[in-house]
Amino acid sequence: MTDYRVVFTVMLIVGVAVYGGLTGAQFALGSGQDGPETTATEPLVRGTTIHLDRSGRPTVVGEVVNGFDTSITNVTVTVTFYRNGTQIGQVTQAALRETLEAGDRAPFDVHMRSSGEADRYEVALSYDRGGEVVPGLTVENASVAREAQSQVDVVGEITNTRGEPLVVDRVVATFYNANGSVIGARTVRPSRTIQPDGSYSVRIEFRTLGDVPSLAQEFARFEISIVAARA
């Protein structure tokens, strides 16, 4: 059975800085007004920002936080875009990691299917209780390899600490600004098998050339997470 959460709504200020920098901590449940910060005792959406991608499509990024004391799976967000009170687009998409253990979080990166401008958006979250995360892959020596105004490259070493071969199904990098909001998320899928005590080096590029604004210039920190599978 799928659990559906209350819709999170954000009103954008039409003006000079319409896109970027809006934090999910200021969301009010089911309204366009600011509300109190939500305590993470259940799954929620936080830290969203919006920008136009290089094709001119409104794009919302943020993260899902699992506040339950058990895992959740099939984590999906539906972003609805509005302009002048009219819905101009809606996209449903899985989070970049679909199963989250208690206290874990995963980013999402949702593009409207056509170009345009939005002055409001809503993010609805759905998930199923349960799900298994395959343990044993850890990220070591994570660092910034390159930082420029429109690009940030990060690297890390993935190590298998489990006594069996594991597959690196997906590597996800989440990029944050100084306020802790998500400004981007990127994924690579190496589908590489790592033997026990073995390792694999990964590099992930966060390029925002042509985006409005180019949020790489707001970069402050990043996190790398992994989706593992049994070989």
Residues 62, 124 share a domain: yes
Q: Are residues 194 and 176 in the same domain?
A: yes
Q: Is 190 exposed, middle or buried (0-12, 13-18, 19+ CB in 10 A)?
A: middle
Mean pLDDT of 165-193: 97
Instruction: Look up tokens 């594991």; give the residue.
Output: 166
Per-residue model confidence (pLDDT) at position 199: 97
Range of the domain at 160: 137-230
Q: In the numeric block, which tokens belong to residue 62? A: 């943020």
| Digit-coded pLDDT (tens) for 26-50 | 222 222 223 334 456 899 999 999 9
Residues 6+ away with beta carbon under 8 Å from 13: none
158 and 124 share a domain?
Answer: no
Residues 68 and 168 both lie in one domain: no
Over residues 144-166, mean pLDDT: 97
Same domain, 60 and 170: no
Query: Where does a domain end: 129, 162, 178?
Result: 129
In 3D, which of 8, 109, 124 has the Cα closest to residue 51? 109
Distance between CA atoms of residues 106 and 44, nearest Å: 11
Q: Provide the number of structural domains found in the chain.
A: 2
Same domain? 118 vs 141: no
